[in-house]
Amino acid sequence: MTFAALGLAPELLKAVSEQGYENPTPIQAAAIPVVLAGQDVLGAAQTGTGKTAAFTLPILQRLLKHASSSVSPAKHPIRALVLTPTRELADQVHDSVTTYAKYSKLRNHVVYGGVDIKGQIPALRSGVEILVATPGRLLDHIEQKSVNLSQVEILVLDEADRMLDMGFILDIRRIFNLCTARKQTLLFSATFAPEIKKLADDFMSSPQLIQVERQNSTNESVKQELHPVESYRKKALLAHLIRLHEMEQVIVFTRTKQNADQLSRDLKRDGFAVEAIHGDREQRARMETLAGFKEGRVKVLVATDVAARGLDISDLPFVVNFELPNNPEDYVHRIGRTGRAGATGVAISLVAPEEEKAFEQIRKLIKKDLALIPVPGFSPGTEQLGTPRRDDFAARTDRGSSRGERAGRDARTDRPRSERDGQRRDAYAERAPRRDRDIDPMAGVVFPTNLPPLPARPQQQIAALFLPPKARPPVVAVETGSEE
Ligand code: AMP
């Protein structure tokens, strides 16, 4: 199937071929004819499937008859409105519309919060046919009368599930009611919770369901690797994995903004080119960070779910879940950042014992038997010599001697240093869990990649991995020398 066979106009085909797209993706092949026919669509499409072009191209085609070179704003009313949950997604959709509309006379614009509203008004007043917006800022414009939705013919809700999660339901209903001339509605969502179905029942007429993959499924081109690890060792393991896999571009997800900032600071101290992106950062800083990441200046992007939603970074090779998300559907979205449009990717999750519930929910949702495979040197319940805690201890005792302590004596107490060190070790031993003092018996052992999955029940899997080493069931392993 070619784009030409879908009946798209020459000006759109030219823009598409400039992007290097050879054939429509499955969602494009399925949705374009239905949208062109004027039908409502419920699209169950994951990120990375090409869904933006799946709705943008037929919308442009349907609006081509209104394209006008007149300078009169009255000749350019808003005829298509695309709502997105986040600013980043709004920007990306707007970029796509600009790309595909470049050989037509149709105008488009984007509005979202976090930037001065006044700067957005002149473009709106001069008239645009396609407006991409986040719901809150759109309503601000409606209140200021800089936007009129009475001639909107096509309304698109992109990532509708996320808009609902973010509490936009009342705003969306209000916007639906303002689009009085609406003839067609397209709703895209990775999942179909009851509220989405209710929205579709209330506002859509006989929508055609277009589903390119099973709901809540994860993309087959994403290799999922899950490693059990205690929380306090996650940062060291992440640094180890970034170096081991020579990751040049990776998004690392944390659960909270504070954790994103903290992790970003820690990795920076370790010499990584890292930036954090989350809702508390100013829009301009977020855009700069994103640009740096796309251009390769920033290699590690630490992100929260909301900030990362809809980021289109093509060919992203790695995604790391530093913490599992509270909402299992976010796991699907997160790992959808990699393995996009046919490329393969690796999604790595670091799973601590306290994340057992989240892990179980993810397995239930995606219906896959995910196995937890320890990383040599980071097996739960063990600690190797030379990890930061012990280095830290050694460094402190070294500093003591360089301050001119009398040979073998403690400067403050004048007691033999071995006695003081002994006390420090005891203090360390009190703080550290008992198992920290064990030396990893699995150090130097490399697990074969085809390790059979551990028992099916997740609780048992996690419990088995966090048992003290001696109690752990024997595992077949190949000795090939130390990994670290
Ligand atoms: P989306 O799911 O809309 O975010 O698109 C994901 C990525 O796929 C984007 O980088 C698009 O540029 C790319 N893409 C969209 N359609 C095609 C196509 N037909 N062939 C190849 N890549 C595409």
Note if the pTM is more than 0.75. Answer: no
pLDDT per residue as tens digits for the range 331-390 = 887 887 777 656 678 999 999 999 999 999 998 888 777 888 999 888 887 655 444 443
pLDDT confidence of residue 343: 64
Q: Over 50: is that where the pLDDT of 83 sits? A: yes
pLDDT confidence of residue 479: 32
Q: Which atom of ligand 1 is nearest to the CA of 312?
A: 4
Residue nearest to atom 12 of ligand 1 (CA): 50
Sign of the CA dihedral 309, 314, 324, 432?
A: negative
Q: Which atom of ligand 1 is nearest to the CA of 49?
A: 2
User: Could you give the CA distance from residue 323 to residue 369 in angstroms, rounded to a whole number?
Assistant: 19
pLDDT confidence of residue 187: 96
pLDDT per residue as tens digits for the range 412-426 = 333 444 443 443 333
DSSP per-residue codes, 465-483: HHS-GGGSPP---EE----
Q: How many CB atoms lie within 10 A of CB 259?
A: 17
- Cβ of 52 less than 6 Å from ligand 1: yes
Does the domain formed by 222-366 have CATH 3.20.20.70? no
pLDDT confidence of residue 464: 53
Residue nearest to atom 6 of ligand 1 (CA): 48
Instruction: Evaluate whether 331 touches 356 at the Cβ level (below 8 Å).
Output: no
4-211 and 222-366 in the same fold:
yes
Q: How much distance in Å is there from the Cα of 256 to the middle of ligand 1?
A: 29
Residues with Cβ < 8 Å from 57, sequence gap 6 or more? 3, 8, 12, 16, 28, 32, 100
Closest of 196, 216, 191 to residue 207, by C-alpha: 196
- Cβ of 62 less than 6 Å from ligand 1: no
- Cβ of 50 less than 6 Å from ligand 1: yes
Range with the largest mean pLDDT of 144-158, 201-215, 400-414, 460-474: 144-158
pLDDT over 90, % of the chain: 51
Q: Which atom of ligand 1 is nearest to the CA of 310?
A: 4
Residue nearest to atom 18 of ligand 1 (CA): 21
Instruction: Evaluate whether 253 touches 305 at the Cβ level (below 8 Å).
Output: yes
pLDDT per residue as tens digits for the range 53-62 = 999 999 999 9
Average pLDDT over residues 270-274: 94
Task: Report how far Cα 264 is from the mean position of its chain's Cα atoms.
Answer: 16
Q: Of residues 194 and 260, which shows the higher confidence score?
A: 260
Burial status of residue 134 (CB atoms within 10 A of its CB: 0-12, 13-18, 19 or more): buried
pLDDT over 70, % of the chain: 74
- Cβ of 333 less than 6 Å from ligand 1: no
Q: How much distance in Å is there from the Cα of 340 to the middle of ligand 1?
A: 8
Tokens of 89: 């997604």
Q: How much distance in Å is there from the Cα of 204 to the middle of ligand 1?
A: 27
- Mutation probe of ligand 1 site: the residue of 2, 12, 52 with most atoms within 8 A of C-beta: 52
- For the chain, domain boundaries: 4-211, 222-366, 390-432
Provide CATH code, domain 4-211: 3.40.50.300
Burial status of residue 418 (CB atoms within 10 A of its CB: 0-12, 13-18, 19 or more): exposed
